[in-house]
Amino acid sequence: MNMMNEGGGTLRVFDPTADGMDGQDDLATRFNTLDGKVVGLLNNTKDRSDIILDQLEQQLRAQFPGIDIRHYRKQSVSGMTPDIKDRLTDEVDALITAAAD
């Protein structure tokens, strides 16, 4: 929507609301344990997210000795490339990501 401001210029206003949802995905089945599972830790490239994920990895390994942890890294915080999505879908049973600054 365009509006005139007090100085006579044009002010463009965007509506930030999303369109209605077409459907809803079901929640994934919860695991009873992470032992024997492949868990991906996804670094979203924000500052210090590697520290959070490293500490989380230590805790997961202590609690679930049979866990297989794999590290992944997005190219930027703004999105995930299709190849990373495909790898995650094919390689992990569960995914954890961190947002930090």
Question: What is the distance between the terminal CA atoms of the chain, rounded to a whole angstrom?
Answer: 34
Q: Which domain holds residue 98?
A: 34-101
Confirm whether 53 is domain-assigned.
Answer: yes
Q: Is the pLDDT of residue 2 over 70?
A: no
- pLDDT at position 78 is 77
Which backbone phi and psi does 41 adopt, to 5 degrees? Answer: -110, 115
- What tens digit of pLDDT does each residue of 15-64 get? 777 777 777 778 888 999 999 999 999 998 888 888 999 999 999 999 99
Confirm whether 60 is domain-assigned.
Answer: yes
Q: Is the pLDDT of residue 65 over 90?
A: yes
What stretch of H or E contains 83? Answer: helix 82-91
What stretch of H or E contains 63? Answer: helix 49-63
Confirm whether 79 is domain-assigned.
Answer: yes
Residue 8 or residue 36, greater confidence: 36
Confirm whether 41 is domain-assigned.
Answer: yes
- pLDDT at position 4 is 61
Q: How many domains does the chain have?
A: 1
Confirm whether 4 is domain-assigned.
Answer: no
Confirm whether 80 is domain-assigned.
Answer: yes
- pLDDT at position 3 is 59
Domain holding 43: CATH number?
A: 3.40.50
- What tens digit of pLDDT does each residue of 67-94 get? 999 999 988 887 788 888 999 999 999 9
